[in-house]
Structure 1
Amino acid sequence: MAPGKTYLDTTDIRPLAARSDLAGVLLILHCWGVIVAAITLFTFWPNLLTALLAILLIGSRQLGLAILMHDAAHNALFKSRRANEWVGTWMCGWPIMADLAAYRHYHLTHHRHTQTDKDPDLALSHGFPTSRASLRRKFIRDLTGQTGIKQLRSQIAMFITLAGDKDAIEAAKDDAAQAFKSNTIHTAFPVFFGIALAISLIGNWWYGIAFWIVPYLTWFQFVLRVRNIAEHGATEMSQDPLRNVRTTRAGPIAKTFIAPYWVNYHLEHHMVMHVPCWRLPQLHTMLIAQGLGDKMNVAPSYRAALSEAGWH
């Protein structure tokens, strides 16, 4: 039984779980629209500030693509499974070198075994709280591209190792390292680098590197880590759905650069995982109305969530 059914009636959940094709289209258009707008801003006002702003916005929207692929993995982005599969794969997953099918397998296992020994995401959260120095080292590796380059190399090595070995590919789906990575890298690579090439053809030769590859190797890796820490870092190792996951309040700046598309409502997502992301604030309100506010693990900000994880 879904954890949310412990606290809410099916009649309350059903309207929230209703998919909307219009909402799905608007979310995809918004995500890619922000990417185009960021590059356009620099093109018309080229300077260091607009270049940095573009990198941050594009990196955050690459996370946005991961979030929308996540919704598609739950068949919550569109009404039809076919639309979720196609858009989640071609417009969300492969552009960031992630594989929808592999991610779905991995992620649903995470939902079934949240914060237990069988949770494939445990490797991302069990080391917290940690020291500020440890977090600083992780953040520096992310922001300087070290994490991204290392993961890119590991994806290439994984593809070479697993090529043609279906059993090994299936086994790799349970590996925590496969979150937002693609086992079909022979397809994902052309899409990822094709986008970079298209950006360069539209602008200057270096645009694709500066405004697709650099954001992917730096800001995307950083906000992906911050999101992982905020969601499960330093939470209870228990099966209590109100305590083994965290929702983080986010203001306009955090929503723009760190937590797009309501990803901060992670406790609510675990309560009813097939609720579309844009309805998670309504689910949050419903849970509060049930008198659960004091019991829910809610951080007032991302700074506060990181503080719980060791960033004092």
Structure 2
Amino acid sequence: MNMRVSVTDLFSREEIEELTQPSDSHGIWAVGSTWAVIGATFAGVALSWSYLPEWGKLLICMVAVAILAGRQLALAILMHDASHNSLFKTKWMNDSLVDWLCARPIWNDVHKYRAHHMRHHAKTSSPEDPDMSLVAGFPTTKKSIARKFIRDLTGITGLKFIAGRILMDAEMMKWTVANDVTWLPRERRKWYDYPAKFFKNSSKAIGTNTTMFCVLWAAGYPKLYLLWPLAYLTAFPLFIRIRSMAEHAGMQTSHSALTNTRTTKAGWIARTFVAPIRVNFHMEHHLMATVPYFKLPKMHQMLRERGFAPEPPTYFQVIDILSQGQISAEKVKYLEAVKVSTQEQ
């Protein structure tokens, strides 16, 4: 289906009105529970630290890094929902509260993200889609995907992101969430303009992270803060990659969210790490971006019952699907080479 589908063809006006009603209480729960898990993770490491052998300390730190990275992704999804004004009914909560509590702790900006993300929705899967580079190159080989995952877990991807964020906040590069590099004009700019712009644009991120460090310091465990940037540099990029792959990679180039976007099945493990805040219902989100997260499962069920949504794959199945395309191409090339060789003989 390559034609753009109107939601009024899928739902009645009464259903659309009911599905698109946000809730402050659900938004407070989503933000509060995310920070509760973050706090409980730090507390769990702190309370168990003195009772564990060295290998146990290493293990619990690895688990904590994975959980914290999952909650960093949750903060990113909360920022994403607020950019659509669907997380809270109250506007200032979407704009200001989420900016301070969700975007800034992960070095982001809800206002810049909103402007960027609206273009993604308007131009999904087209050459003008600003997020296309996040899913370019799929399908690919299993070895290629493994190399990408290794770069994520070893911090290579995270360090590249940090370098990019520094250049963006210094206004040397155009702001983006993807991997694109667009240099901004530097004429008539003095050297001191760059650090001034950096501290202006990064001050809230620095402030929120300093606050987190001070809270842990006041609790007697300042070193635990290191788990936060460690998660940000390693597991967080991996979870972002898997989430991006599941949403759009390998889908059709079309004007229809029914074919250019994928919904993925997510159990509790997936929801913990790669699919928080119901972000796995991504086809539904692209059909109606103002539907709040807690109503997306209902919307999905309605689409399934009406024959517009297929049985969604799991994240493991998506990774397997996206690791087959290039292998098949290589097999075709191999068979063609064998055929030519046979003819020559």
Normalised to the residue count of structure 2, the TM-score between the two structures is 0.81
Could you tell me which residue of structure 2 aligns to residue 49 of structure 1?
59
Q: 1:133 Cα deviation (Å)?
A: 1.4
Runs of 4+ off more than 3 Å: 173-178
Residues 191-230 of structure 1 correspond to what in structure 2 (within 5 A)? 191-210=208-227, 212-230=228-246
The 2-side partners of 1:257 and 1:143 are apart by 14
Aligned residue for 1:79, secondary structure, equals coil
Q: Which residue, out of 150, 161, 164, partners 1:140?
A: 150
Asked whether the equivalents of residues 38 and 53 of structure 1 are also in contact (C-alpha less than 8 Å), the reply is no
CA RMSD of superposed structures (Å): 2.1
Distance 1:280 1:78, change over 3 A: same
Q: 1:207 Cα deviation (Å)?
A: 0.8
Asked whether the equivalents of residues 196 and 213 of structure 1 are also in contact (C-alpha less than 8 Å), the reply is no
Q: Which residue, out of 188, 197, 202, partners 1:185?
A: 202
Asked whether the equivalents of residues 213 and 222 of structure 2 are also in contact (C-alpha less than 8 Å), the reply is no
Q: 1:43 Cα deviation (Å)?
A: 1.5
Supply the AA of the counterpart residue of 2:207: P
Residues 233-312 of structure 1 correspond to what in structure 2 (within 5 A)? 233-294=249-310, 299-310=312-323
Supply the AA of the counterpart residue of 1:266: H
Deviations 1:247-274 (A, max 9, x none): 1101111111221111111011001100
The answer to which of 272-281 and 183-192 deviates more is 183-192
Q: 1:19 Cα deviation (Å)?
A: 1.1
Could you tell me which residue of structure 2 aligns to residue 12 of structure 1?
15
Q: 1:198 Cα deviation (Å)?
A: 3.0
Deviations 1:1-21 (A, max 9, x none): 984333112211111111111
Q: Which residue, out of 19, 33, 41, partners 1:38?
A: 41
Distance 1:293 1:161, change over 3 A: closer
Asked whether the equivalents of residues 105 and 173 of structure 1 are also in contact (C-alpha less than 8 Å), the reply is no
Deviations 1:146-174 (A, max 9, x none): 11112112211222344xxxxx7xxx246
Give unpaired runs (5+ residues) of structure 1. 163-167
The 1-side partners of 2:99 and 2:143 are apart by 37
Q: Which residue, out of 112, 117, 140, partners 2:122?
A: 112
Asked whether the equivalents of residues 168 and 175 of structure 2 are also in contact (C-alpha less than 8 Å), the reply is no
Could you tell me which residue of structure 2 aligns to residue 68 of structure 1?
78
Supply the AA of the counterpart residue of 2:11: L
The 1-side partners of 2:65 and 2:220 are apart by 15
The 2-side partners of 1:251 and 1:224 are apart by 17
Q: 1:309 Cα deviation (Å)?
A: 1.5
The 1-side partners of 2:9 and 2:98 are apart by 30
Q: 1:142 Cα deviation (Å)?
A: 0.8
Residues 69-108 of structure 1 correspond to what in structure 2 (within 5 A)? 69-108=79-118
Deviations 1:87-117 (A, max 9, x none): 2210010010011111101111110111011
The 1-side partners of 2:208 and 2:317 are apart by 37
Asked whether the equivalents of residues 159 and 185 of structure 1 are also in contact (C-alpha less than 8 Å), the reply is yes
Distance 1:175 1:248, change over 3 A: closer
Give unpaired runs (5+ residues) of structure 2. 50-56, 181-197, 328-345
Asked whether the equivalents of residues 142 and 148 of structure 1 are also in contact (C-alpha less than 8 Å), the reply is yes
Distance 1:237 1:126, change over 3 A: farther
Aligned residue for 1:303, secondary structure, equals helix
Q: Which residue, out of 155, 176, 183, partners 2:178?
A: 176
Asked whether the equivalents of residues 69 and 88 of structure 1 are also in contact (C-alpha less than 8 Å), the reply is yes
Asked whether the equivalents of residues 18 and 275 of structure 1 are also in contact (C-alpha less than 8 Å), the reply is yes
Supply the AA of the counterpart residue of 2:222: W
The answer to which of 42-51 and 214-223 deviates more is 42-51
Deviations 1:105-155 (A, max 9, x none): 111111011101111111111311011111111111111111111211221
The 2-side partners of 1:81 and 1:117 are apart by 32
Query: Taking every aligned residue pair, what percent have the same amino acid on both sides?
Result: 36
